[in-house]
Amino acid sequence: MTPVHFSFSAAFILGLMGLAFHRTHLLSALLCLEGMMLSLFIALSMWSLQLESMSYATTPVLLLAFSACEASAGLALLVAATRTHGTSHLQNLNLLQC
């Protein structure tokens, strides 16, 4: 495992752990998702840089475009949840439990 591989894996797993265990605000969950996506961006761009393959040079940008769409959908949901529930705490999302 190269140092680059280790660092982006560690960044991704830290983001995943944050998403799974740190559950107070919706915004922090979205930030963790974005962190995971950025570590994947590093991974893809490093892969195409190391292999010097032209055909893979566009993949990081495609990933970034999709993660931007995802982040904007997440922020829209943050606004919607704040308007309907009053807060953005994830604890308040409990209407559907049984």
Partner 1 sequence: MNPYVLMILISSLGIGTTLTFMSSHWLLAWMGLEINTLAIIPLMAQQHHPRAVEATTKYFLTQATAAAMILFASTTNAWMTGEWNIQQLSHSPSTTLVTFALALKIGLAPMHFWMPEVMQGLDLTTGLIMATWQKLAPFAIIYQISSTTNPTLLTTLGILSTLVGGWGGLNQTQLRKILAYSSIAHMGWMIIILQFMPKLTLLNLMIYIIMTSAMFMMFKYNNATKINYLTLTWSKSPVLATLTMPMLLSLGGLPPLTGFMPKWLILQELTKQNLAITASIMALATLLSLFFYLRLCYAMTLTLSPNTTNTSSTWRIKSPQMTMPLATISTLTIMLLPITPTIFSLIM
Interface with partner 1 (CB under 8 A):
2, 5, 9, 12, 16, 19, 26, 29, 33, 36-37, 39-40, 43-44, 47, 51, 59, 62-63, 66, 69-70, 73-74, 77, 80-81, 84-85, 93, 95-98
State the nearest-atom distance from the C-beta of 11 to partner 1, in Å: 10
**Two tokens at 77?**
């949901």
State the nearest-atom distance from the C-beta of 24 to partner 1, in Å: 14
State the nearest-atom distance from the C-beta of 77 to partner 1, in Å: 5
Strand partners, 89: 25
Alpha helices in 1-98 (DSSP H): 3-21, 26-51, 59-85
- Residue 59 contacts by C-beta under 8 Å, 6 or more apart in sequence? 44, 48
